[in-house]
């Protein structure tokens, strides 16, 4: 039994965000963190490991330095890492990314009792699409916005959060769950985990490793295979300076109405 | 040679930084006010493996070295010097057992320490401080036991709340002076061993520092560390590590004081511009930054020397002397830069200023460090 977690390295939003001329993010020049929702997915997988002794495999698609993030997750307790990395995969949108990650999961091989965990969404794109797309492409049941998980053998029951309540959903493994921050509190790395994390295996899946999968085709991966076109990226201009009108009398109201009228708001 | 941190050391620093920001910093002011460590925090330190940092894996620890210990103490001290002190003393206090103890002693005490049972180390007595050779506590052999009588004072990590076991320096042969000193492990709760006054202190108030009293305290001979008459050497050896740890504590406090000052000078506007635009104050920052970097270089030089197995007596003393002095100077200057706000208890500098003041005193005063350094220079 495996708990597989798809994770993404995202820009640290407390730092500076840089954009390439083609509108994509200049990831190499930015400080990065593990996508926050993905940390909840990792914690969910580690809890399953604590309960069942299963193996936890963390998977990411990204440039070679993303291995550092996989090591960090191994220091938390993950057993293996898979780094999906190739020039051909660069510039992928959510459609292309899910093609590639689904192919990577095919390559790893899903057993009947495996569970795939994803974060709800990444803080850079905020699409919440990659997890559900992977499940669709693998023909696997999925439960999104998961806030509680119970697994009994091959049956999984989850609490799925909605805007106005929640629903309880039951499904069979193998399945894919997308996790929200209410699910758990991610653990810290441990000292022993740090000591051992560089001795654990990380496998790199390059283009050649995945190219025979029917999901991998030049028209379905990378920037060329991405239906999303970014027309323009820009930093929103700062808003103008606000103005406070002091006073409670009619003259202040008249002043306000006058200003709004002058700007054709009313 | 420029110091290079390993990938694991960088990751360790990231972990401690995150832990200190989230868990230690928010508790620091209250622990200081209450004069007690938060037991939840101590448990977390044990669970995450901090307490077994230098204990070999076969005894339940992580088997890491002085570099890692310095990183941990430095980052903890940024947010709370008392937490850093407990960690630093603990990771020194089991060293005599680790290096010189019998297998039985190691099997018994090291796993306890690795799991978070706090270790202490008792040298100082009312009449034996800087002159460690003045130890008067005695241990007399009686069958399979030693009977210990005497008292120790200002002992860190052993008090009303903390402390599982303490390695005590005793005289087993008063006729031989320090050559008659031995190290014996005493467990908390041993009949005849009581904890006296818990000291009320200027700083590091959350950490237990207490008087230990031994009255016909009977301890099995198996608790002797190494050989009789060798205890003084074991203690002096452990103190080399302790000095680098305490220097790291001073470095952490100084770094945080510097960072707080930089932040404050940028936002505090007086005479129509931020204080950071005043050249006179910029020069203060430059001095503080220079001192912090010099201390860091000395500490990690000493730590890497120790991990390589090189002698560190001189460099550890230099690092301890320098870092502890600049810890006081930098927090003092930072408090001055914050002026009224720095003096108030609502802000962390007031606590940091008090905390920093112990470091030129414990684990060998600055004056003792100068004796060690000059003795090495004149060799």
Residue A192 resides in a domain: yes
For chain B, list residues whose CB is within 8 angstroms of any CB belonging to chain A.
7-8, 11-12, 14-15, 18-19, 47-50, 52-53, 57, 62-64
Q: Do B11 and A197 touch (CB under 8 A)?
A: yes
Is A198–B8 a contact, with Cβ atoms under 8 angstroms apart? Answer: yes
Distance from the B169 Cα atom to the nearest Cα atom in chain A, whole angstroms = 31
Task: Inspect the interface and report whether the beta carbons of B12 and A188 lie closer than 8 Å.
Answer: no
| Residue B265 C-alpha, separation from nearest chain A C-alpha, in angstroms | 21
Question: What is the average pLDDT value for chain B, to the nearest integer?
Answer: 95
User: Pick from B11, B47, B52: which is nearest to A189 by CB?
Assistant: B11
- State the CATH class of domain B235-377: mainly alpha
Query: Domain for residue A264, yes or no?
Result: no
Q: Is A19 at the interface with chain B, CB within 8 A? A: no
Choose from A14, A69, A195, A197 for mutation: most chain B CBs within 10 A: A195
- Residues of chain A with Cβ-Cβ distance to B12 below 8 Å are 191, 194
Hey, are the CB atoms on B7 and A71 less than 8 Å from each other? Answer: yes
CA distance A159 to chain B (A): 28
Instruction: Quote the DSSP letter at residue A241.
Output: P
**CB-nearest partner of B62 from A72, A188, A191:** A191
A201 touches chain B (CB under 8 A): no
**A196 touches B: beta carbon within 8 Å:** no
- Domain boundaries, position A36: 2-220
Q: Does A156 touch chain B (CB under 8 A)?
A: no
Mutate to test the interface with A, among B8, B18, B64, B71 (most CBs of A within 10 A): B8
**Pairing, β B209-220 against β B224-225:** unpaired
Question: Chain B contact for A100, CB < 8 A?
Answer: no
- The rounded mean pLDDT for chain A is 91
Question: B305 to chain A, minimum CA–CA distance in Å?
Answer: 20
pLDDT tens digits in sequence order for chain B, 379 residues long: 567 899 999 999 999 999 999 999 999 999 999 999 999 999 999 999 999 999 999 999 999 999 999 999 999 999 999 999 999 999 999 999 999 999 999 999 999 999 999 999 999 998 888 887 889 999 999 999 999 999 999 999 999 888 999 999 999 999 999 999 999 999 999 999 999 999 999 999 999 999 999 999 999 999 999 999 999 999 999 988 899 999 999 999 999 999 999 999 999 999 999 999 999 999 999 999 999 999 999 999 999 999 999 999 999 999 999 999 999 999 999 999 999 999 999 999 999 999 999 999 998 999 999 999 999 999 8
Q: For residue range A27-51, what is the model confidence (pLDDT) as tens digits?
A: 677 788 999 999 999 999 999 999 9
pLDDT value for A231: 80
Among A68, A194, A198, select the one facing B12 at the smallest CB separation.
A194
pTM of the model: 0.89
CATH of domain B7-114: 1.10.540.10
**Quick check: A68 contacting B, CB < 8 Å?**
yes
B2-41 pLDDT per residue, tens: 678 999 999 999 999 999 999 999 999 999 999 999 999 9
Determine the residue among B10, B11, B63 to mutate to test chain A binding: the one whose Cβ has the most chain A Cβ atoms within 10 Å: B11
User: ipTM of this predicted complex?
Assistant: 0.85
Homologous superfamily of the B119-231 domain (CATH): Butyryl-CoA Dehydrogenase, subunit A, domain 2 (2.40.110.10)
Structurally, chain A folds into a number of domains equal to 1
Which uninterrupted H or E stretch holds A208? helix A207-210
Q: CATH no. for residue A161?
A: 3.40.50.620
A172-210 pLDDT, tens digit per residue, is: 999 999 999 999 999 999 999 999 999 999 999 999 999
Note whether A16 contacts B: Cβ–Cβ < 8 A. no
Q: Evaluate whether A42 touches A79 at the Cβ level (below 8 Å).
A: no
* Domain range annotation of chain B: 7-114, 119-231, 235-377
Catalytic residues of B: 363
> What is the reported pLDDT for A164?
93
Question: Which three-class secondary structure state does DSSP give residue A194?
Answer: helix
């Amino acid at each position: 039994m495996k708990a597989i977690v798809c994770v993404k390295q995202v820009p640290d939003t407390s730092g500076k965000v840089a954009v390439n001329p083609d509108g994509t993010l200049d990831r190499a020049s930015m400080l990065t963190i593990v996508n926050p929702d993905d940390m909840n997915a990792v914690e969910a997988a580690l809890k399953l490991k604590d309960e069942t002794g299963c193996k936890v495999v963390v998977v990411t698609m990204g440039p070679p330095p993303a291995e550092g993030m996989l090591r960090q997750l191994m220091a938390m307790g993950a057993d293996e890492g898979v780094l999906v990395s190739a020039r051909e995969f660069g510039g992928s949108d959510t459609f292309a990314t899910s093609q590639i990650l689904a192919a990577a999961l095919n390559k790893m091989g899903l057993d009947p009792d495996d569970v795939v965990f994803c974060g709800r969404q990444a803080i850079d794109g905020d699409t919440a699409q990659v997890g559900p797309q992977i499940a669709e492409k693998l023909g696997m049941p999925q439960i999104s916005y998961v806030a509680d998980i119970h697994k009994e053998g091959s049956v999984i029951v989850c609490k799925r959060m909605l805007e106005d309540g929640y629903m309880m959903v039951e499904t069979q493994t193998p399945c894919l769950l997308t996790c929200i921050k209410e699910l758990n509190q991610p653990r810290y790395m441990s000292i022993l985990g740090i000591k051992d994390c560089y001795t654990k295996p990380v496998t790199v899946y390059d283009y050649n490793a995945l190219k025979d999968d029917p999901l991998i085709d030049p028209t379905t991966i990378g920037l060329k295979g991405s239906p999303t076109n970014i027309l323009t990226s820009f930093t929103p201009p700062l808003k103008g300076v606000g103005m406070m009108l002091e006073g409670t009398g009619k003259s202040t109201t008249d002043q306000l109405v006058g200003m709004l009228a002058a700007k054709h708001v009313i | 040679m420029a110091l290079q941190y390993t990938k694991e050391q960088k990751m360790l620093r990231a972990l401690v930084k995150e832990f200190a920001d989230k868990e230690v910093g928010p508790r620091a002011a209250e622990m200081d006010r209450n004069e007690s460590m938060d037991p939840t925090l101590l448990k977390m330190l044990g669970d995450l493996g901090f307490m077994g940092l230098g204990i070999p894996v076969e005894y339940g620890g992580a088997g890491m070295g002085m570099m890692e210990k310095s990183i941990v103490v430095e980052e903890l001290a940024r947010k709370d010097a008392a937490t850093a002190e407990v960690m630093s003393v603990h990771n020194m206090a089991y060293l005599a057992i680790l290096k010189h103890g019998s297998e039985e002693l190691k099997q018994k005490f090291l796993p306890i320490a690795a799991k978070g049972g706090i270790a202490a180390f008792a040298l100082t007595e009312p009449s034996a401080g800087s002159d460690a050779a003045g130890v008067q506590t005695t241990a007399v052999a009686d069958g399979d036991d030693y009977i210990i009588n005497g008292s120790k004072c200002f002992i860190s990590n052993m008090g009303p709340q903390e402390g599982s076991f303490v390695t005590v320096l005793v005289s087993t042969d008063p006729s031989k002076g320090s050559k008659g000193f031995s190290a014996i492990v005493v467990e908390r709760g041993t009949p005849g061993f009581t904890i006296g006054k818990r000291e009320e202190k200027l700083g590091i108030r959350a950490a237990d520092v207490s008087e230990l009293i031994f009255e016909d305290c009977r301890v099995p001979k198996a608790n002797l560390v190494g050989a009789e008459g060798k205890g003084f050497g074991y203690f002096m050896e452990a103190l080399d590590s302790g000095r680098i740890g305490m220097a790291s504590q001073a470095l952490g406090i100084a770094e945080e004081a510097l960072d707080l000052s930089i932040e404050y000078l940028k936002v505090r506007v007086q005479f129509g511009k931020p204080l950071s635009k005043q050249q006179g104050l910029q020069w203060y920052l430059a001095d503080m930054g220079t001192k912090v970097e010099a201390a860091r270089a000395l500490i990690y030089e000493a730590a890497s020397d120790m991990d390589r197995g090189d002698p560190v007596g001189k460099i550890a003393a230099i690092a301890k002397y320098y870092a502890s002095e600049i810890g006081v100077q930098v927090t003092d200057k930072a408090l001055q830069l914050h002026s009224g706000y720095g003096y108030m208890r609502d802000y962390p500098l007031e606590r940091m200023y008090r905390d920093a003041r112990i470091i030129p005193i414990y684990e060998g005063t600055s004056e003792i460090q100068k004796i060690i350094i000059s003795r090495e220079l004149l060799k």
